[in-house]
Structure 1
């Protein structure tokens, strides 16, 4: 046989099969082992395989696990992939006829997607757990900083005073919605393809529900064609991941802006600041930069997986398997680093109250409440009140004064634009333009007022508890399934 006829061609072996084999070694050996054991149990329980034959196969599988050092293996091309390696090892121990019985009523098609789903569930569970930890850290920080004043920005410019707790709560709400999307995507993975075989199930009386139970899935995936052709379990998860880190990236970018010298309202402690090699005065909060680029890398890696499956045929194809699955796992790695580092960062940063006060004074950002007060107490239209407030702000800025020192300018503007004197005395004016008062009167649903914030924080805690309980139930079911599989497989070895 010529080189052109003998499989595998050396270049194909080096560029495709060997990397795929390494991917299985690094990611899938445990999943393949579980599938082999569960399938053997199911074949025996349904009477497809005799008990004595099943016991011999079970013993051989254990011997393979104990004697074959998978980590030390290198791909030689003697067998096509890891699946055939295990089958070859079974043949060495049992002969070809008995060894081949394990593959009754299954295919690499349903096995591969089951392997991918088991692995993705594991990665998703880890990532979701870290997202829960970040949400908890953000809620705790929101509670601690409920009344801490900040300058809120729109379009990159100082807009209104709010509190750090109120700002963080907005990020909490987005993160909780992202966690719900992640957990919904994880639930979509939790349907077992085993029993679909190549495409159409099998003429053997297999028990697909039993396979799903033994492998820790919530139920079998119904349509057997969809079991080997559908990739929405992949695209759904990576899309939810992309959104999570895209949204976190916007929050991270704000921290970069807030910690800039010119703004200075966010203080990052020394444990998370690096110094310049040449400029002694520099405080570089570079963990924020690492968070930003790691979040972007995670988005890009998630996108790469989804985009690889664009315009691929609706059938079992390598475009959705092998290397693209392994490539996607890097998104979990970088994403986990973001969640861990951001949780650590948010727990130790603080607001520089002096800088906040200076920025509030310099930008007159409480003037909105002055206009609101004039509407409520003076009976003016909002447009007329807005013009008086704007004139007051222009006057104090021109004089280089804070808005709180602008009573005379206010009185003059009020008289000129309304034709009468204001009923506000200096104390009432000072209160109307106070940042603390600005926040305190905003007790509407979702606002930064203390009571509104307390209600919101209770809701966030309740939502996170519900999501955590849901994940705990998923993890408990998987653990229970693992124990059941071990017991059922072990029973095959008993005399």
Structure 2
């Protein structure tokens, strides 16, 4: 059977090849040029290419890159993909024989996965920077609100008093864990596949470590099969990204709940409030709603990346390549919006202390400490003390009173009923036991809301944040140094006579 068709089929070109070409042109052109530089330097320094050829190729690469920069090439089907477009441009400049020598000891396989890792590394660095900005905002707010009392809720009901700083420290711990996971993902990404070629490395004496250093990688992906087949650098990245957004969505839910009129614990300033088109009284803190759905969108996009590579063969395949990488970058874009908006909210919102005090009174949320006090000072079992405290809370709630002013008489009656004797706890001692300040001050264990414990925790979190920042700066410095060194040596190669 004679096949008279010619590549590419128009539908295939429109639906697959053109989008892939545009994606590579938009996201990978600069990294592609960096790979060409690093690979050529290695071919020259190992003697795989003769010096004169290496210099001529370097000069042509500069011309081709300058011609491509700032332009948008419309895919016309004359080549298969962006790689062959660059190779065709080089061939038009140098001729087929000399231009083709640049591709010695490499493949589109190791080039593509190197491109993907370089772009993910850049994306992760940007996301880590934004996450660190949010972390700093949380640390600052927690420090400013060490003594700002709030109502802590469990199961949607008022539970105990704590401080806003204590609550934010819980969020800080989670963000620190998420940053550690992002850092771990970055370490998996930061391994160069170059030199793996198609599958099994090369018969040429390539220096994989030199190329990795010139591209700013921490090292090489050692196994050459894994370098072109593994997707763990993708799954590690998007798992960490998904968890970050999933975890941030939970305090966002609290913020939404706390701003409800019936709760009113959190005040959102006018700059972050929208109005109703029909109801003049409405203050709608819709940025929190946007945070919620954007976090869900980003987490969903990250989950999509895991689903795409699920049950794919352990080999080089398109499932993990251009289209998939482009889809994943959307998750980073959404995550960046979440981090920026949440940072702004954390810096702007404040606690409505009057509403907090009212809720504490109405809900008797300090009653746990009355039970604890009875155990310590009256020698009761906690279960017996709990029964007395429960009777007091029911009595105060029934009259819609305040625990501090209306609870002592019911307390005396409940104590006598349960124990058969009078309590030695006077009214002043009772009032202290059920005060929010007394409740918080007594909880001075590690991780508690008392001032000393909270200061110690904040010191610990600040130290961990600084360590993460220093590690990030080391990575950035390595990238910058590698780029500067590569460009300087490449320019010297191009000028060599």
What's the secondary structure of 1:159's corresponding residue?
Answer: strand
Aligned-partner Cα distance in 2 for 1:210–1:431: 69
CA offsets 1:420-464 (integer angstroms, 9 cap, x no match) = 111111101100110111001000111101010010000000000
CA distance in 2, matches of 1:337, 1:2: 55
Alpha-carbon spacing, 1:4–1:417, altered in 2? closer, same or farther (3 Å): farther
Aligned-residue offset at 1:3: 8.6
Structure 2 residue 306 is matched with structure 1 residue 306? yes
Could you say which residue in structure 2 is the equivalent of 1:122?
122
Shift of 1:197: 0.2
Partner Cα separation in structure 1 for residue 172 and residue 366 of structure 2: 26
**Partner residue in 1 for 2:37:** 37
Query: Is 1:231 matched up with 2:252?
Result: no
Deviations 1:358-389 (A, max 9, x none): 00011111100000001111111111111111
Equivalent position of 1:217 in the other structure: 217
- 1:4 to 1:378, Cα distance in 2 relative to 1, 3 A: farther
- Which residue of structure 2 aligns with residue 203 of structure 1? 203
Summarize deviations over 1:310-344 as a string: whole Å, max 9, x none.
Answer: 00000000000010001100111110011111111
Determine whether 1:476 maps to 2:466.
Answer: no
Q: Give the distance between the partners of 2:137 and 2:59, measured in 1 at CA.
A: 48
Q: Does the residue aligned with 1:305 lie in a helix, a strand or coil?
A: helix
Distance change in 2, residues 1:128/1:2 (3 Å): farther
Compared with structure 1, are the counterparts of its residues 254 and 4 closer, same or farther at alpha carbon in structure 2 (3 Å cutoff)?
farther
Indicate if the aligned counterparts of 1:166 and 1:453 stay in contact, CA closer than 8 A.
yes
- 1:398 positional shift: 1.3
The 3-state SS of whatever aligns with 1:260 is coil
Question: Displacement of 1:68 after TM fit?
Answer: 3.1
CA distance in structure 2 between the partners assigned to 1:451 and 1:419 by the alignment:
39
Pick closer, same or farther for the CA change 1:334–1:4 going to 2, 3 Å.
farther
Please state whether the residue corresponding to 1:78 is helix, strand or coil: coil
CA RMSD of aligned residues (A): 1.1
Q: Distance in 2 between matches of 1:227 and 1:69?
A: 29
Q: Distance in 1 between matches of 2:114 and 2:70?
A: 21
Counterpart Cα distance in 2 of 1:439 and 1:3: 82
Aligned equivalent of 1:448? 449
DSSP 3-state at the match of 1:493: helix
1:463: which partner in 2? 464
Paired position in structure 2 for 1:155: 155
Match status 1:420 vs 2:421: yes
Deviation at 1:71, TM superposition (A): 3.5
Mind listing any 5+ residue stretches in structure 1 that lack a counterpart? none
Aligned to 1:254: 254
Instruction: For 2:36 and 2:57, locate their aligned partners in 1 and report how far apart those are by CA, in whole Å.
Output: 10
Q: Secondary structure at the match of 2:71?
A: helix
Deviations 1:465-495 (A, max 9, x none): 0000000000000000001110111111222
1:305-454 alignment runs, 5 A limit: 305-405=305-405, 406-454=407-455
Counterpart CA distance in 1 for 2:355 and 2:3 is 75
CA contact (8 A) 1:25 1:71 kept: no
> How far apart in 2 are the matches of 1:71 and 1:238?
32
- Deviation of 1:215 (Å): 0.4
Judged with a 3 Å threshold, the aligned counterparts in structure 2 of structure 1 residues 343 and 72 are, in CA distance, closer, same or farther, namely: same
- Offset, 1:69: 5.3
Q: State the 1:275 CA deviation.
A: 0.8
Separation of aligned partners in 2, 1:159 and 1:31: 54
2:486 paired residue number: 485
**In the aligned structure 2, how far is the partner of 1:360 from the partner of 1:427?**
19
Cα deviations by residue, 1:143-171 (Å, 9 ceiling, x for unpaired):
00011100000011111001000000000
CA distance in structure 2 between the partners assigned to 1:127 and 1:153 by the alignment: 31
Counterpart-to-counterpart distance in 1, 2:76 and 2:283: 54
- CA 425–105 in structure 1, closer or farther in 2 if over 3 Å, else same: same
- Deviations along 1:40-88, one digit per CA (max 9) or x if unpaired, are 1100000000111111111111111122356321000000011101111
CA 1:234–1:44 in 2, change beyond 3 Å: closer, same or farther?
same
SS of the residue corresponding to residue 150 of structure 1 reads strand
Work out the CA distance in 2 between the residues paired with 1:41 and 1:460. Answer: 44
Deviations 1:83-133 (A, max 9, x none): 101111111111110010000000000000000000000000000010011
Determine the C-alpha separation between the residues in 2 that align with 1:138 and 1:69.
Answer: 41
Aligned counterparts of 2:68 and 2:183: Cα–Cα separation in 1: 37
Task: Confirm or deny that 1:49 pairs with 2:57.
Answer: no
Aligned to 1:12: 12
Counterpart CA distance in 1 for 2:267 and 2:5 is: 67
User: Hey, what's the Cα distance between the residues in 2 that align with 1:88 and 1:474?
Assistant: 35
| Runs of 4+, deviation exceeding 4 Å | 1-4
Aligned twin of 1:77:
77
Q: Provide the C-alpha distance between the structure 1 equivalents of 2:106 and 2:291, rounded to a whole number of angstroms.
A: 44
List alignment gaps of at least 5 residues for structure 2: none
1:289 match: secondary structure: helix
Report the alpha carbon displacement of residue 393 of structure 1 after superposing the two structures with TM: 0.8
Secondary structure in 2 matching 1:314: coil
In the aligned structure 2, how far is the partner of 1:281 from the partner of 1:262? Answer: 15
